[in-house]
Structure 1
Amino acid sequence: MKLFDQTERYGPIKNIFGIGDPHVVKIENQWWMFFGGFQSNFKNNIFSAYLPAGKGLDCNDWKIMTYENHPKKAKPLIANSTKGSWDYYGYHTPCFVSGFSERGDAVERVYYTGRASKKVLDNEAPYSIGVIEKRDDQWVRYQEPIITGTTASPNVLEPKVRYFDGLWRMWYVTTVQETGKTGEPRYTIQYIESQNGINDWSEPISLFNEDENFYDASVHQTPSSGFEMTVCRSTNLYGRTPFPQQGLWLLEGKKPNGDRNNWSTDPYQLIDCDSGAEWYKHGTAAPCGYYGENEEDRNTLYLFFTGVNEHRNWLDITVSRLKKGKKPPFPSPFYFSIGKVECHKIV
């Protein structure tokens, strides 16, 4: 089901035009969602939403975090960086992680993709991976990226980080260029790990190569203490034909690592976008899953993701909404939704 829809706007909130790439996490007794948002200043930043304290993932009453004195203005975690910075044009694909430093101190971080190019797609400058860290109740941005690309594949993005068994583990994407209206998708998913989550990362291991073209790899634990990984492909933003099949796939593994032999040989398809609803018919992205916490839903996987709407023509969408007495969306080349699907595990 849809939770947020760009074509329907976001209630009274006026300073974000579109949101996507949800990362859901429980902090103390409350579920939070961190997501990327395109702002009225035409830069991307990181925002958050929350469920009422004590509610489970079967609840859909998500509320976007706003300024205390400005309920119509979504509140970013941190201000955008200054001109000339490696991520000046925006922060994308947030991933909240809590873990421990090498000294044993509890740490809260949000890893993100930083954009150095005006263009989101067919970018002219590389994407890199950065981090912001909570210190004395304030989010502080590391001045330099923690992961950068290579000469052969200069872009790194989509960091999916987890803290398992005393290690900070990252699954991320590398590519020559973010695919837009032209060019073929060329994506590799790599895995690295670190004791401190900032530096001294292990040598990258290629988990999925360009022939499989998976774009996100999000790992979660199962009720039986095993692991599952949800993957998707780069979304078909412009409705191109032909284009890699869109959907969500699930793999099983005994360990949370980058060893392809640890994970299922044949990914199981959870969602086929060709036969899906219009709000995700052109692709899914940024999956993030958790199993239920209560006896009645402990075998239910709640999977959150971004959906790309099949409809792209702003005028058509506007006319349709005006006929219903509703406000039109802001003009955009494509439209995102954030939604979830419930997958019931057969035991």
Structure 2
Amino acid sequence: MKNLVFGGATGKGLAHLRNLDTVADPGVTRRDGRWWMVLGGMQAEERVIHLYAAQSSKLDAGWQIITSPDDPRQAARLAEPPPSGAWDATGYHCPSYARGRDAGGAVIERIYYASSAEWGSLYGPYQIGFLQWDGTRWVRHPEPVFTASHPWERGTVLEPNVLYDEGAWLLRYTAGLAVDGRPSTGSAESGDGISGWRRRGQPESNRFDALVAHDGDGFALITSRHPLDSVFTPEHGLWRARGGSPHGSWKPARHIVRTIDGTPWHDAGVWKPTAVADGRRRAVFFTVAQRSDNPYAPALGVGGIILGEAQA
């Protein structure tokens, strides 16, 4: 299976909604007995990115946006927007769901995101913060928890992808877009996912995203290659590698989604992957961009691919 899940030029799965016409940046997990997807979303002319959710009983079909109990045409927001004038006043960009544990062993659910105080540029500068589930609602942590501090990060960090493993919160992130449009990805870890972040390894250039996910008895590293000038080559798209540790070493990567393979609903780019396992199958969901009548604003959406046992 490789198909468009939401959005695109046709507004798949969104046309019946009065308050949501664009979604992107999925984060997928198993939650409350169903597959659950967090999404960033907006309505035309809106200036704040909100969080929404979708759910399905199957990974490869049946996804629906969760709506208000009182109005099936109103997409339900997961959280209140940030306050006006806050460091994250533009909303919850590129969300990443992560589940971990606190020092006492209790489960913690978070949605990490990047944001900025104002819309000076689509590329930042950004910082990274999170919301946390308190058992009833998603509560916004008031301050950013990860900020650019190294020269190579060039003043901005975004595209967080977070994994909890063996007592540590592991962050993969993107930097550098606000200065010259050349992305690089970095890695950091923290004992509590809030403070004491320690950078690991060296940045990887020409990568728009990097995601590490549990994958059977090992880990998968999924990277996106996406040029901001939209001049695509055969190497652009999503790549997947496997390894025995979340820090590598990684086996040679395999191209799993090619931007320019003749598929109309992602012919303007793919990025921000999320990955889950369902038995012997592996599913990867990702942001897609489709060429539209407006050359400056491609139609965004969410796509998905199911990898069988032989491919995984």
* TM-score normalized by the length of structure 1: 0.81
Number of the residue aligned with 2:219: 227
Give the one of 193, 196, 203 matched to 1:197.
Answer: 193
Letter in 2 for 1:248: L
- Does structure 2 retain, via aligned residues, the 8 Å contact 1:228–1:251? yes
1:120 Cα deviation (Å)? 4.8
Q: Distance in 2 between matches of 1:234 and 1:116?
A: 25
Pairwise mapping of residues 130-141 of structure 1 onto structure 2 (< 5 A)?
130-141=129-140
**RMSD of the alignment, in Å?**
2.2
Pairwise mapping of residues 34-183 of structure 1 onto structure 2 (< 5 A)?
34-40=38-44, 41-51=46-56, 55-58=57-60, 60-123=61-124, 126-150=125-149, 152=151, 153-177=154-178, 183=180
- Does structure 2 retain, via aligned residues, the 8 Å contact 1:101–1:195? no
Give the one of 239, 243, 246 matched to 1:253.
Answer: 243
- Does structure 1 retain, via aligned residues, the 8 Å contact 2:234–2:260? no
When residues 336 and 120 of structure 1 are mapped into structure 2, their CA distance, relative to the original with a 3 A threshold, is: farther
SS of equivalent residue, structure 2 residue 260: helix
Number of the residue aligned with 2:182: 186
- Does structure 1 retain, via aligned residues, the 8 Å contact 2:27–2:37? yes
Number of the residue aligned with 1:267: 253
Deviations, residues 314-340 of structure 1 (Å, cap 9, x unaligned): 59xxxxxxxxxxxxxxxx711112111
Number of the residue aligned with 1:282: 268
Letter in 2 for 1:171: R
Letter in 2 for 1:141: R
More moved, 79-88 vs 5-14: 5-14
Return the structure number with greater strand share.
Answer: 2
Deviations, residues 253-275 of structure 1 (Å, cap 9, x unaligned): 11012x5xx123x4211122122
More moved, 197-206 vs 29-38: 197-206
- Does structure 1 retain, via aligned residues, the 8 Å contact 2:8–2:265? no
Deviations, residues 186-227 of structure 1 (Å, cap 9, x unaligned): 22211111221111122343341x2xx11111222223x011
SS of equivalent residue, structure 1 residue 214: coil
When residues 269 and 244 of structure 1 are mapped into structure 2, their CA distance, relative to the original with a 3 A threshold, is: closer
Letter in 1 for 2:256: L
Deviations, residues 12-44 of structure 1 (Å, cap 9, x unaligned): 101123101111101131110001102353311
Q: Distance in 2 between matches of 1:302 and 1:112?
A: 22
- Does structure 2 retain, via aligned residues, the 8 Å contact 1:16–1:39? yes
Q: Distance in 2 between matches of 1:133 and 1:242?
A: 37
Letter in 2 for 1:263: W
When residues 242 and 137 of structure 1 are mapped into structure 2, their CA distance, relative to the original with a 3 A threshold, is: closer
Give the one of 29, 32, 55 matched to 1:28.
Answer: 32
Q: Distance in 2 between matches of 1:177 and 1:207?
A: 17
1:176 Cα deviation (Å)? 4.7
Q: Distance in 1 between matches of 2:262 and 2:145?
A: 37
Number of the residue aligned with 1:335: 299
SS of equivalent residue, structure 2 residue 16: coil
Number of the residue aligned with 2:211: 218
Number of the residue aligned with 2:5: 3
1:2 Cα deviation (Å)? 0.9
1:94 Cα deviation (Å)? 1.1
When residues 92 and 342 of structure 1 are mapped into structure 2, their CA distance, relative to the original with a 3 A threshold, is: same
Letter in 1 for 2:241: L
More moved, 34-43 vs 77-86: 34-43
Letter in 1 for 2:4: K
Q: Distance in 2 between matches of 1:289 and 1:244?
A: 23
Tell me how many residue pairs correspond in the alignment.
304
Structure 1: 4+ residue segments shifted above 6 A = none
1:235 Cα deviation (Å)? 5.0
When residues 166 and 28 of structure 1 are mapped into structure 2, their CA distance, relative to the original with a 3 A threshold, is: farther
Determine which structure has more spread, i.e. the larger CA radius of gyration: 1
Q: Distance in 1 between matches of 2:203 and 2:166?
A: 20
Where structure 2 has 5 or more consecutive residues not aligned to the other structure, the ranges are: none
- Does structure 2 retain, via aligned residues, the 8 Å contact 1:292–1:302? yes
Q: Distance in 2 between matches of 1:230 and 1:279?
A: 20
- Does structure 2 retain, via aligned residues, the 8 Å contact 1:233–1:244? no
Q: Distance in 2 between matches of 1:105 and 1:304?
A: 28
Deviations, residues 261-304 of structure 1 (Å, cap 9, x unaligned): x123x4211122122401111210111122322xxxx1x22111
